Amino acid sequence: MIASIARKEFSEIVRDGRFKWTAGIMALLLLTALAAGYQKYSAYMDIQRMSQDQTNAQWLNQGDKNPHAGAHYGNYAFKPAGPLAFFDNGINNYAGTALFMEAHKQNFAIGRPATDQSSIGRFGDLSGAMILQLLMPLLIIFLGFTAFSGERESGTLRQVLSMGVSNRQLLWGKALGIGGVVLLIVGLCVLAGGLALSLTGPSTESESLGARATLMALSYVLYGGIFLFLTLAVSAWAKNARTALMVLIGFWAFAGFLAPKAAVEISKAIHPTPAFGKWMADMRSHQMRGFDGVPPFVRFEQESREIFAEYGAESIAELPVYVGALRLQKFEEYDFPVFEQHYGQLRDSYTNQRRLQDRIGIVAPTLPLRSLSMALAGTDLIRHVNFADAAEAYRRDMVLKVNNYLGEAAASLNTGYGGGNVLIADEAIFAMVPPFRFDSRGLQATLAEHAGNFIALMLWLAAALGLALWSVQRLKVEED
């Protein structure tokens, strides 16, 4: 019985002239978005790889110079786009792409594509994810809001129920029929996109591409299911079709547009992001006065006895390493806790904001889905933070290596300082710093962080289903 209801629902929708239009537009947009996304993604990745190779070569061929000057010349980390960025570009437009790694300074990734875009870019990206997050629910609402209310208005509901169909059977049949139509449109496009992608060959080292895509598909199916059952629930509950439509569109606009922005503002009010000027001034003055209130130059003087003792020396002359290099490295290390505190504070505010936004997802399913989708695409905040962390670790290692080298190779400078006796490093020396490579944390870590969002989607689906079952149970056959 369920099957024949589903079949009837399916063919009724598909035969409707309006369906062809809606489906056609939806498919066209989705294919455009996927094609544009893929084109941007591959262009970005080509440039990213090329730039990373170039910067590595530049590091090696920077010319013969003092090794510490080499650390000032530094190196760049360029952020890879994320394995499924062509589908969901996530925060990529709003996060930096190039991170300068140099002596003495921890830097932000700079070069946000959004600053090189017209202000209209703030309306959002036309991406596969955007279409599935915002347009798919509306499609489901359009196809399903008359499921019960329409039949009641045309009087066929009484007939159907008099044939011995249970209310629940009717619900499942309609859900299957409408769900089938949506899957047909969306699924075909996504398949086409996937096929095109596999033919041209994804250029990233997979990063568990298959698992990511599967989980992504699952999340969107859950999300579609939520809107499907909500639509059916409201359709069964509402007095007439137009009330059902208004309620559903209201909810859709709330979940898709209002709630995300409201969640952002609320999270910013509770966990404020420091303004750039304030943050920069705080950090730099902290750096200058020293982490514990002792300026670096003073601290080095105070601690010099202990520092020399580590090398079994009592004075500079006895040191087996070059004191200049030693001091450079110590200064470097004095700054670590300052950077950790201030960059950490900023990162914590981001993380807390994101978590709060996810939690607000309890009132709007678009929020947890959006987070999940970005995470699976590898275009989320966590991955960006991982990237910045990896770059900082690389920077510290790079500086340590050159300073250590300078310390050992220039040890004779302690006693015989004079013009001309200056240490120069060449390509072979700079080669001791390996090229930068970003290995993102695996899928598992991503999943652990986003378990809450999966649960939120499940809860939403359960609630929507419960609501639908409850609504059809008290389904009125006649209009009042």
Partner 1 sequence: MKRIIISHEARQLFRSGAFRALLLMVAGAVAFAAWSGQRSIDRQVEGANAAIAFEDGRRGKMRADTEQYQAQVAAEGGEYQFASAQHAPGAGPPQGTNAGVVGSTTAKYLRMPPTGLAPFSIGQSDIQLSYVPVSMNPTMYITKDNELENPVNLMTGSFDIAFVVIFLLPIFILAISYDLLSSEKERGTLAMILAHPISLRELMASKIIARAGVLLAGVLVLGIVALLAVGTNLDLADTWARFGLWMAATLLYALFWFAMSVLVNVYGKNSAANGIALAGTWLALVVVVPTLVSLLATTLYPAPSRMELTTAARQAQTEAESTYMARLSEYYYDHLEFVPEGDERAMDFLTVAMANRNAIEKAVRPLYDEFQSQLNLQESLVQRFQFISPAIMMQLALNEISGTSADRYEHFLNQAYDFRVEWSEFFTVKFLQRAPLRPQDYDQLPAFEYREEPFATVLMRLVPSLLGMLVLLTGAILIPFLRLRRYQVATS
Show contacts with partner 1 in window 192-211 (CB under 8 A). Answer: none
Show contacts with partner 1 in window 15-44 (CB under 8 A). Answer: 29, 32, 36, 39, 44
Show Cβ contacts of residue 393 under 8 Å, excluding neighbours closer than 6 positions. Answer: none
Between 361 and 465, whose beta carbon lies closer to partner 1? 361
Stretch that binds partner 1, among 156-164, 172-180, 281-289, 461-469 (CB under 8 A): 281-289
Please say whether the beta carbons of 358 and 453 come within 8 A: yes
- Tell me, residue by residue from 124 to 153, as one string, x for binding to partner 1 by CB under 8 A and - for no binding: xxx---x---xx--x---x--xx---x---
Question: Alpha-carbon distance 68 to 322, whole Å?
Answer: 12
Please say whether the beta carbons of 402 and 378 come within 8 A: no
Plot region of 104 (φ>0 → left; ψ -120 to 50 → alpha; else → beta): left
Please say whether the beta carbons of 292 and 335 come within 8 A: no
Residue 353 CB, nearest approach to partner 1 (Å): 5
Between 27 and 165, whose beta carbon lies closer to partner 1? 27
Between 169 and 373, whose beta carbon lies closer to partner 1? 373
Question: Alpha-carbon distance 208 to 206, whole Å?
Answer: 5
Stretch that binds partner 1, among 4-12, 192-200, 252-260, 447-455 (CB under 8 A): 252-260
Between 1 and 280, whose beta carbon lies closer to partner 1? 280
- Tell me, residue by residue from 40 to 79, as one string, x for binding to partner 1 by CB under 8 A and - for no binding: ----x--xx-xx--xx--x--xxxxxx-xx--xx--x-x-
3 CB neighbour count, 10 Å cutoff: 12
Show contacts with partner 1 in window 335-354 (CB under 8 A). Answer: 346, 349-350, 353-354
Between 32 and 415, whose beta carbon lies closer to partner 1? 32
Contact residue for partner 1 among 20, 158, 284, 476 (CB under 8 A): 284
Between 32 and 473, whose beta carbon lies closer to partner 1? 32
Question: Alpha-carbon distance 376 to 84, whole Å?
Answer: 7
Show contacts with partner 1 in window 449-478 (CB under 8 A). Answer: none
Contact residue for partner 1 among 165, 184, 262, 411 (CB under 8 A): 262
Show contacts with partner 1 in window 153-172 (CB under 8 A). Answer: none
Question: Alpha-carbon distance 298 to 188, whole Å?
Answer: 68
Plot region of 274 (φ>0 → left; ψ -120 to 50 → alpha; else → beta): beta
Between 228 and 360, whose beta carbon lies closer to partner 1? 360
Question: Alpha-carbon distance 26 to 131, whole Å?
Answer: 8
216 CB neighbour count, 10 Å cutoff: 22
Residue 296 CB, nearest approach to partner 1 (Å): 10
Asked if 94 touches partner 1 (CB under 8 A), the answer is yes
Residue 51 CB, nearest approach to partner 1 (Å): 4
- Segments in 145-258 forming alpha helices (H): 149-154, 156-162, 167-200, 209-237, 241-253
Please say whether the beta carbons of 232 and 175 come within 8 A: yes
Q: What burial class does residue 224 get, using C-beta atoms within 10 Å of its C-beta: 0-12 exposed, 13-18 middle, 19+ buried?
A: buried
Asked if 269 touches partner 1 (CB under 8 A), the answer is yes
Contact residue for partner 1 among 195, 258, 448, 462 (CB under 8 A): 258
- Segments in 361-450 forming alpha helices (H): 366-377, 381-409, 427-430, 443-449
Please say whether the beta carbons of 216 and 90 come within 8 A: no
Site size toward partner 1, by CB under 8 A: 107
Show contacts with partner 1 in window 410-439 (CB under 8 A). Answer: 419-420, 422-424
Contact residue for partner 1 among 249, 294, 316, 447 (CB under 8 A): 249
